[in-house]
Amino acid sequence: MNDAIEIEKLTYSYPDGRVALDNVSFNVSRGETVGIIGSNGAGKTTLLLHLPGILQGSGNLKIAGYEMNSKNLKNIRKAVGLVFQEPDDQLFMPTVFDDIAFAPLQFGREPEEIHKIVHEVLRKVGLSGFEERLAHHLSFGEKKRVAIAVALAMNPEILVFDEPTSNLDPHARKELIVLIKGLNNTKVIAGHDMEMIKETCTKVIVVNKGKVAAEGTPAEIFSNKVLLETNMLI
Amino acid sequence: MDHHLLEKYNTLESTIHKLDPRTKILFSLLYVLTVVFTVPGDIVKLGALLLVIVSVIIMAKIPLIYVFKRSLVIFPFVFIIAMFLPFFSVADGSGFIELKVLGLNLSRKGLYIFWNSLFKAWFAIMAMILLSSTTSFPLMLKGLALLKVPFILIMILSFMYRYIFVLIDKAQKLNRAVKLRHFSLNNFKQIKIIANMIGLLFIMTYEKGERIYQSMVSRGFEGNIKLMDRLKIKAVDIVFSVVVLTVLLFINLWSFL
């Protein structure tokens, strides 16, 4: 069976010429949870934006069995649910229902099915009954959960989180970790929250200045103080 | 700004709140048109129209005093637009009123049109306040979309509604940061800081727009947004339509009977 994500020699430069990703290669097998850690500006978000093909650098990407090209883009976007760091960027519709229904609608699902989907994903993230709530009346923690519900709406094979626990209070953070652990999709989680990565991930990739600096199990990576220090993680 | 100003009475339970947004939008328009086409000086008709709007406001359980207070906002605009009418209106035989103090002549006809437009604008704004306080903004947008308002306008309004609150929060934070560091500035220097703030806000919104676009693209956006129509015309809409239509027709045709 194919891996969920296969990235080979991915290189990407910003429009101003600065290199953001330099020869990045790694694989993620199905059902695995992979943490991507790195200091600010290491290229984590840029890397994540390549998974649903929002940014397209050079190199070979295979996501959920689809070769990355314009023909497969639609299928890839169906297969990847992206949870942004800032929920206000992700939730752009006035009500929670409309936000969750957005992706299923664009992908041509039927109205009755969409009602079911919205109900189901809200239950999954523990926000049943939030359908008609207005996005700007939600607390930050609730917005984060709705953002996850939005990503789950297409029942994606791969879930991608960009710093899921940032700005959350300790209680909301703990609940969110429980929620993430409870999802059985293949997961890619980027972040600085080492405890969260340790708790949720089966594999950790360290990025530094756009390069993969190390790859290993959480136990290997987090016990290697020299590695963490040279990559500005402690 | 109070975030909930727009939505203060949106969540009340009343017959009017339960109506389909399309019914409310159409009847608000119809009401405004009736008001606009009323012959100046037809006090009976204007009185009847006032009675209509007041009774619907009472039906919607919205405090009258709240609607009156908010409707005051229209007067400066009407005043500026209409204030010259009494001075420029051509004499039609109704004569002038001479203001001895200022040496100006006011035409009776002009004054007549002036207070008429004042009342008409006031009635129309009350209808709009009623509409916006009984319909949540998302529902209003859905109603407008179903009434075939161009889709691009609906999306612009939708994004505006979603992000105006985010933007206000940002502006408030910036303002606080400025206040913390600059407490004794004269007005000129403040203008410079405000200009910087506006520039900063513009860049922030620009970047936010880019990220929102990324979020849309990752969720299957390909240039056309499909929306879902979750509204249904109910019995209450039909009853309301028949009643209000009869009343408005009666008011309009009164003079011919």
Q: How far is B190 from chain A (nearest CA, A)?
A: 30
Mean pLDDT lowest for which of A7-11, B18-22, B184-188?
B184-188
Confidence grade of residue B41 (pLDDT, cut at 50, 70, 90):
confident
| B226 in any annotated domain | no
d(CA B77, CA B83): 10
Confidence grade of residue A91 (pLDDT, cut at 50, 70, 90):
very high
B55 in the same domain as B111: yes
Q: Write down the pLDDT at residue B100.
A: 61
| B242 in any annotated domain | yes
Residues A153-179: tens digit of each pLDDT: 999 999 999 999 999 999 999 999 999
Report which of residues A47 and B233 the model is more confident about.
A47
Which value does ipTM take for this structure?
A: 0.89
Best mutation site among B136, B172, B215, B225 for testing chain A: the one with the most A CBs within 10 Å?
B215
CB contact under 8 A, A84 and B219: no
Report the largest interatomic distance among the alpha carbons of chain A, rounded to a whole angstrom.
Answer: 55
User: Quick check: A10 contacting B, CB < 8 Å?
Assistant: no
d(CA A86, CA A146): 12
Q: How far is B216 from chain A (nearest CA, A)?
A: 8
Contact map slice: A 118-137 vs B, CB within 8 A: 134-136
CATH architecture of A5-230: 3-Layer(aba) Sandwich (3.40)
Q: Is the pLDDT of residue B2 over 50?
A: no
B155 in the same domain as B140: no
Of A77, A93, A134, the CB nearest to B218: A77
> Could you tell me which chain A residue has the CA closest to the CA of B136?
A134
User: Quick check: A92 contacting B, CB < 8 Å?
Assistant: yes
User: What is the SS3 assignment for chain A?
Assistant: CCCCEEEEEEEEECCCCCEEEEEEEEEECCCCEEEEECCCCCCHHHHHHHCCCCCCCEEEEEECCEECCCCCHHHHHHHEEEECCCHHHHCCCCEHHHHHHHHHHHCCCCHHHHHHHHHHHHHHCCCCCCCCCEHHHCCHHHHHHHHHHHHHCCCCCEEEEECCCCCCCHHHHHHHHHHHHHCCCEEEEEECCHHHHHHHCCEEEEEECCEEEEEECHHHHHHCHHHHHHCCCC
Confidence grade of residue B15 (pLDDT, cut at 50, 70, 90):
confident
CB contact under 8 A, A77 and B217: yes
B190 in the same domain as B246: no
CB contact under 8 A, B165 and A136: yes
User: Quick check: A25 contacting B, CB < 8 Å?
Assistant: no
Residues B42-56: tens digit of each pLDDT: 888 889 999 999 999
Of B141, B165, B219, the CB nearest to A103: B219
CB contact under 8 A, A89 and B211: yes
| B26 in any annotated domain | yes
Q: What's the whole-number average pLDDT of chain A?
A: 93
With b for 16 or more beta-carbon neighbours within 10 A and e for fewer, the B193-227 pattern comes to eeeebeeeeeeeeeebeebbebbbbbbbbeeebeb
> Which long-range contacts (C-beta less than 8 Å, at least 24 apart) are formed by A63-67?
A63/A4, A63/A5, A63/A6, A63/A158, A64/A4, A64/A5, A64/A157, A64/A158, A65/A2
Of B136, B137, B215, the CB nearest to A89: B215
d(CA A129, CA A119): 8
B194 in the same domain as B70: no
| B74 in any annotated domain | yes
Q: Write down the pLDDT at residue B5.
A: 61
B208 in the same domain as B240: no
Confidence grade of residue B191 (pLDDT, cut at 50, 70, 90):
confident
B192 in the same domain as B114: no
How many contacts, defined by CB atoms under 8 Å, are there between A and B? 82
Confidence grade of residue B6 (pLDDT, cut at 50, 70, 90):
low
Q: Is the pLDDT of residue A1 over 60?
A: no
d(CA A75, CA A68): 10
3-state secondary structure of B231: coil
Provide residues of B within 8 Å CB-CB of chain A. 3, 7, 136-138, 141, 158-159, 161-163, 165-166, 208, 211-212, 214-222, 225-228, 230
B15 in the same domain as B47: yes
Residues B92-129: tens digit of each pLDDT: 666 666 666 666 777 777 788 888 888 899 999 999 99
Q: For the residues of B17-86, what is the DSSP string, one character each?
A: HHS-HHHHHHHHHHHHHHHHTSPTT-HHHHHHHHHHHHHHHHHTT--HHHHHHHHGGGHHHHHHHHTTHH
Parent domain of B179: 150-218
Q: Is the pLDDT of residue B30 over 70?
A: yes
Contact map slice: A 47-86 vs B, CB within 8 A: 49, 52, 54, 74, 77-78, 80, 82, 84, 86
CB contact under 8 A, A94 and B225: no
Confidence grade of residue B3 (pLDDT, cut at 50, 70, 90):
low
With pLDDT > 90 as the criterion, what percentage of chain B qualifies?
A: 40
CB contact under 8 A, A92 and B159: yes
B211 in the same domain as B99: no
Residues A175-206: tens digit of each pLDDT: 999 999 999 999 999 998 999 999 999 999 99
CB-based contact A130:A107 (threshold 8 Å): no
Q: Is the pLDDT of residue B1 over 60?
A: no
Confidence grade of residue B83 (pLDDT, cut at 50, 70, 90):
confident
B36 in the same domain as B113: yes
Q: Is the pLDDT of residue B59 over 70?
A: yes
Total of domains in chain B? 2
Average pLDDT score over residue span A37-56: 92
CB contact under 8 A, A103 and B220: yes
Mean pLDDT lowest for which of A49-53, A163-167, B2-6, B250-254?
B2-6
State the virtual CA torsion across B51, B10, B118, B48 in degrees, nearest 10: -10
Q: Is the pLDDT of residue B91 over 60?
A: no
Domain ranges of chain A: 5-230
B139 in the same domain as B29: yes
